[in-house]
Amino acid sequence: MKAAKILGIPSVWTSSNEDANKDWWMPGLEEINRDAYAHRIKRTGIIDSWNDPDFVRAVEATGRHSLIMAGTTNDGCLLYTALSARRAGYEVHAVLDAGGR
């Protein structure tokens, strides 16, 4: 998996059931970072991104141990993934204002 970069910072994007949840996927994301959008990891119903091996491989490939995370929802997408990343030994910084709810 390839991590795109924003201002030199690796960026790993993922979505869950993107085709079934088009109203959740923010319009305009492709324009923010075309490379990250093109290489996003499409999960199928997995809430905790850390349970998707492709996502974990993409994060590991960045070589970073400090992560900045945001999610569509803070109480689901972000929370579970952040907790799992912490258990895996990563330093996690959550951007709560970036979440949809």
Residue partners of 88: CB distance under 8 A and separation at least 6: 50, 56
69 - beta bridge partners? 94
In the chain, the amino acid numbered 91 is E
Question: Which residue matches tokens 């949840």?
Answer: 21
Strand partners, 67: 92
Is residue 86 annotated as a catalytic residue, yes or no? no
Selecting among 3, 12, 41, 77, the annotated active-site residue is 77
Active-site positions?
A: 77
